[in-house]
A and B are shown apart, each in its own frame.
Chain A
Amino acid sequence: MKHNEIKQLLQLSLFGELKVEEQLILKEHLVSCDECRRELEDQKNLMEIISTRKKVNVDDKMLSAARYQLRGALRAEKAGRSVLSGLKENISQFFTTPIRIAIVSVSILLFGILIGALIFRTSTTPVVDQAENTDQFAMLNNDVRISNISFIDSDPSDGEVEFTFEASKPVRLRGKINDQKIQSVLTYAMLNEQNPGSRLNSINAMDTESPAHLDPDVKNALITVVMTDNNPGVRREALKMMKKFPYDEAFKKALLYVVTNDTSSGLRIEALNSLIEAGKQGYKLNQNELNLFKQQLQQDKNNYIKLKARTILQEYN
């Protein structure tokens, strides 16, 4: 084996990627080769140095935050998809009868003529101009929110600027809480609305409805809010509402998360009470969860929580 190949084996050996026969070859070679022995030491030192790179690990808090953001993104993705699939469905339905096919054929022909006429005309840039498009500007009344302004031409030396922006208009909706669409908007608000008051209102609004009439997504959203919302008031309301749903594994995990991670002692106590209640009804924690629980609760500064902890460990044992 060439010296260079041996050096590669050295590197692979440090990664634990050598086959048995390669290990033997390397071992034999190292006995007789000073240079490779030095090289091996050198590589070990290098790996040691490289291991000092900043340590970054994913903790539960980061993972929960990432999941929370993902939920929002998936909701937006699903909303976009349902609009597209509805459109697709309508189009495919439209193409099912011969008369419609005929209408579409004529439309395509007319469209072709129109395109031809446009191609042979002098082209104009499709830019909204203030003087020529007063209607477009009339749309920008007080109701419209403008955001994400991005300049295409910010140089005013020629007296003009050009930019793009997004204009959104508030939508007013009135409906019954048991309406799935209303629930969908409120769930979205509960997870994504910036204003904690709005998040709280969304939870309280749905809290008036019986869990049987609520979408399963509502419960999942409540769990996410309980674990990740930065406002303790919102978390508390979400926890109160979550307790109305049947106790299950996801519910238990959320409660354990609150007990071991939440900064508010009131919420930790509330979660503990729920776990005690579940324990009385025969639900059990597994050994790992109990260990985690013991460990965390020994560190808790709140005496009342320590007292409750003893109760819960007795209940579960």
Chain B
Amino acid sequence: MELDDTDLILQAQKGNESSFEELVYRYDRSVLSIALKYTLDEDDAKDLYQEVFIRVYRGLKNFRFESEFSTWIYRITTNVCLSYKSRSKDHLRVSIDEDYDDEEKEFSIAQELIYDGSSPEEMTSGADIREIVGEAVESLSPKQKMTFILKHYEGYKIREIAEMLNCKEGTVKKYLFEAIKNLRKKLSPIYA
């Protein structure tokens, strides 16, 4: 009979390694998927995956069942992603504690860096749309990008994202609306 998470956690807390492994295998595909969609780079995603489960391993002893285990793992995943800095690219990143104004500021800096003054026609005809969309998503602030990826590409519910990010649903909505607003601004030459 398959053990539930609680039993596996209790056994893993006592040092049972196969229980820990089983827990990892239950969630690691989703963790890797979030990391991959966030970074778009396999090596970076594997680094983040490893960082997440090392943190889980270190923190498991202190896990007190105050939240679902899955929520805890995804919370770690989002934190690790938000503080990620690509080893291959010099991304613009801010601390997860920075406030919303700073994120706005960051977006405008990123937008200046990406938009090279080309006319919409030049942009659509001269560049791969997929690449432009990728750059537009990259230009979002970490929290906007994370909420947008979890919602649009991973299909999580706003309630679930709020749990993962440890914030209110209203805050998630705010990040989503801002993300869409910024993406719209950035992509308007393509679809307008």
Contacts and interface: CB of A to CB of B under 8 A. Distances in A.
B168 interface: no
B82 interface: no
B33 A77 contact: no
B90 to A, nearest CB: 19
B152 A15 contact: yes
Interface stretch (A23-31, A63-71, A139-147): A63-71
B130 interface: yes
Contact of A46 (B17, B24, B58, B180): B180
Interface string B120-163: 00000000011101101100000000000001110001100000
Interface in A38-54: 42-43, 45-54
Mostly helix, strand, loop or mixed at chain B's interface?
helix
Given A52-B130, A62-B32, A69-B46, A46 B54 contact: no
Interface in A105-153: none
A63 B28 contact: yes
Contact of B28 (A12, A15, A56, A67): A67
A57 interface: yes
Interface string A205-227: 00000000000110010000000
A47 B129 CA distance: 13
Contact of B187 (A12, A46, A67): A46
Given A46-B184, A66-B46, A74-B53, A58 B32 contact: yes
Interface residues of A, number: 33
Interface string B148-192: 000111000110000000000000010011001001100100110
Interface stretch (B35-43, B71-79, B104-112): B35-43
A54 B130 contact: yes
Contacts of A69: 46, 50
Contacts of B54: 70, 73-74, 77
Given A11-B176, A54-B130, A47 B46 contact: no
B84 interface: no
Contact of A53 (B42, B133, B158, B177): B133
Nearest to B148: A50
B88 to A, nearest CB: 15
A49 B32 contact: no
Contact of B183 (A46, A65, A70): A46
Interface of B: 17-18, 21, 24-25, 28-29, 32-33, 36-37, 40, 42, 45-46, 49-50, 53-54, 57-58, 129-131, 133-134, 136-137, 151-153, 157-158, 173, 176-177, 180, 183-184, 187, 190-191
15 contacts: A11-B177, A47-B152, A49-B187, A50-B183, A51-B152, A52-B133, A56-B36, A58-B29, A58-B32, A58-B33, A66-B28, A66-B50, A69-B50, A73-B54, A220-B21
5 cross-chain pairs, A with B, having the tightest CB-CB distances, nearest first: A53-B133, A66-B46, A45-B191, A49-B191, A58-B32
